[in-house]
């Protein structure tokens, strides 16, 4: 690690790259200076470390690392349901990760996919169904334990939040898009249940969502989600683009995004954590972020061997599909 601190190094790198690219020292100076001013003027300071600590190191009952049930623990119960939240608590999770979505009539509910097809007995986009229709569906219909959980409904965001508070679970809100709407709905939720400031975190792949959230309510703890090569490759490693040029271009964008996440965006948004795909996490990586006051949380950690690694070696929290058994990986 260099001793001069991050910023002079990064701004020098930007200056050099622009100067080399444009062959203009004046242009490069101007651009670097603008970037610097932009950062100073528009970045959000992170929430106080003790507040972030309450959310990110809630203290597992067994004294272990925090364990967060993905979508409430999608292997142990129907994902994103109140039953899953209850089950996660019973199985010793310290928190749950929940996906925010909106019905046709604008009610915030929990749903991971854009459509209800994979998880319920209905079909079509969530955004086409008003709440009364959505509430008629069976959210356990496609789950391997559907008999045990039959009749489970898709919960509204508020129903889910209330259940989590009842069980003192940390909530990792996962926001996919619709930055303005999501930020305003979550802000209302924080106002209604102020305990959330100490017990939940808003996370997204989209820096725009996080930035908007902090703009709307700077007291909310936030995290960026990161998977290297996300734009060019699917989670299983296969290429998204059929053409070589497409692959090269999206690969280049991935490099840029990776650099931006690690050097600019985290600071601009003032995040307290970064949620990273498990294959890219090492002790050095955790250390890199620790030096910047940012916690790393790994996903999706689904086998006993991996969980041991997080518990005893990395000593960081992780997100898993199951608190009870090894599950198939998904991305
Ligand atoms: C889905 O299941 C619920 C509960 O069993 C039932 O009331 C509803 O009619 C079903 N909906 C569809 C579209 O099959
Ligand atoms: C968060 O926890 C701290 C320390 O226990 C407490 O002083 C503060 O009032 C809590 N904030 C909210 C909004 O509950």
pLDDT in tens, 281-330: 999 999 999 999 999 999 999 999 999 999 999 999 999 999 999 988 76
The radius of gyration of the chain from alpha carbons, rounded to an integer in Å, stands at 21
Ligand 1: which residue has its CA nearest to atom 11?
137
Q: What pLDDT score does 1 carry?
A: 33
Question: Which ligand sits nearest to residue 149's alpha carbon?
Answer: 1
CA distance 254 to 98: 26
- Geometric angle at alpha carbon 138, from 162 and 72, rounded to 5°: 40
Compute the Cα dihedral for 45, 51, 52, 53 and give only its sign: positive
What separation in angstroms does the CA of 22 have from each of 8, 16, 25, 29?
21, 10, 8, 11
DSSP state of 142: T
CA 49 / ligand 1 centre spacing (Å): 47
Q: What pLDDT score does 2 carry?
A: 37
Question: Which ligand sits nearest to residue 55's alpha carbon?
Answer: 2
CA distance 16 to 307: 43
CA distance 131 to 76: 26
CA distance 103 to 75: 25
CA 137 / ligand 1 centre spacing (Å): 5
What is 49-320's CATH superfamily?
Answer: Phosphatidylinositol (PI) phosphodiesterase (3.20.20.190)
* Exposure string over 47-72, b if 16+ CB within 10 A, otherwise e: beeebbbbbbebebeeebbbbbbbbb
Determine the straight-line distance between the first and last CA of the chain, rounded to whole angstroms: 32
Pairing of strands 200-204, 221-226: parallel
Candidates 72, 232, 254; CA nearest to 167 is 72
CA 198 / ligand 2 centre spacing (Å): 6
Residues with pLDDT less than 50, the chain: 1-4
Where exactly does CATH 3.20.20.190 map onto the chain? Answer: 49-320
């Amino acid at each position: 690690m260099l001793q001069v601190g991050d910023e002079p190094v990064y701004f020098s790198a930007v200056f050099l790259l622009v100067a080399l690219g444009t062959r203009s020292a004046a242009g490069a100076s101007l651009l670097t200076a603008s970037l610097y001013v932009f950062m100073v003027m528009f970045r959000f300071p992170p929430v106080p470390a003790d507040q972030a600590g309450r959310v990110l190191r809630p203290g597992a009952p067994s004294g272990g690392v925090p364990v967060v049930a993905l979508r409430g623990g999608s292997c142990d119960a129907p994902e994103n349901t109140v039953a899953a939240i209850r089950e996660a608590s019973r199985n010793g999770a310290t928190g749950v990760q929940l996906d925010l979505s909106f019905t046709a009539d604008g009610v915030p509910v929990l749903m991971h996919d854009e459509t209800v097809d994979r998880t319920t007995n209905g079909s079509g986009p969530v955004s086409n169904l008003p709440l009364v229709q959505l509430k008629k569906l069976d959210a356990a219909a496609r789950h391997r334990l559907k008999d045990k959980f039959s009749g489970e409904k898709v919960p509204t965001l508020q129903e889910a939040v209330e259940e989590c508070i009842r069980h003192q679970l940390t909530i990792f809100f996962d926001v996919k898009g619709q930055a303005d709407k999501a930020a305003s709905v979550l802000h209302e939720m924080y106002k209604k249940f102020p305990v959330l400031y100490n017990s939940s975190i808003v996370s997204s792949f989209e820096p725009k969502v996080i930035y908007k959230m902090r703009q709307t309510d700077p007291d909310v703890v936030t995290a960026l989600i990161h998977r290297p090569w996300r734009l060019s490759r699917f989670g299983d490693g296969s290429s998204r683009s059929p053409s070589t040029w497409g692959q090269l271009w999206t690969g280049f964008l991935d490099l840029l995004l990776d650099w931006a996440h690690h050097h600019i965006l985290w600071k601009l948004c003032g995040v307290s954590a970064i949620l990273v795909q498990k294959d890219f996490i090492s002790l050095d990586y955790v250390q890199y972020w620790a030096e910047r006051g940012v916690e790393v949380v790994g996903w999706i950690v689904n086998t006993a061997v991996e969980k041991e690694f997080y518990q005893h070696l990395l000593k960081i929290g992780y997100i898993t599909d199951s608190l009870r058994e090894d599950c198939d990986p998904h991305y």
